[in-house]
Amino acid sequence: MLIGKRGMRMSNKNKKGFEMAISMLVVIVLGVVLLIALALAFTGGWKKFIRTTESYSMSDIDALAKICRSQCDMANSQTFCCQERELGGEKEKITCQDERLKVECGINCGEVCSS
């Protein structure tokens, strides 16, 4: 332990430099983690994460059924009967009449889409 001019201890003389080294180490570690996350995002690593969280959100069928119910309530027969919508990742085209949507509606679609 060194004693300075006025009898003060000099052991903590370079404490500021040590703190900067620790903060720089933390910044480097965070940078590496960010680079790994970006690499996963660009190589398709997020697809698995998104697939696992889809069950917590509204499914495609539920969302389409809600849209179709509102079209039925507004008596919009052209949109309800004829407009095709994409279902799921398979890009399957369906209308509101599809049985999987389970939408009960009084619109008769027999002659609406004939044109």
Q: pLDDT class for 37, splitting at 50, 70, 90? A: confident
Could you read off the pLDDT of 60-113 as tens digits, one per residue?
788 888 889 998 899 888 888 888 888 766 667 888 888 888 888 888 888 787
- What is the separation of C-alpha 112 from the centre of its chain, rounded to a whole number of angstroms? 38
Determine the pLDDT at residue 112: 80
Residue 81's closest CA among 61, 106, 60?
Answer: 106
pTM higher than the cut 0.75: no
pLDDT at 27 over 90: yes
* Dist CA 34 CA 22 (whole Å): 19
CB atoms within 10 A of CB 102: 10
* Dist CA 53 CA 47 (whole Å): 10
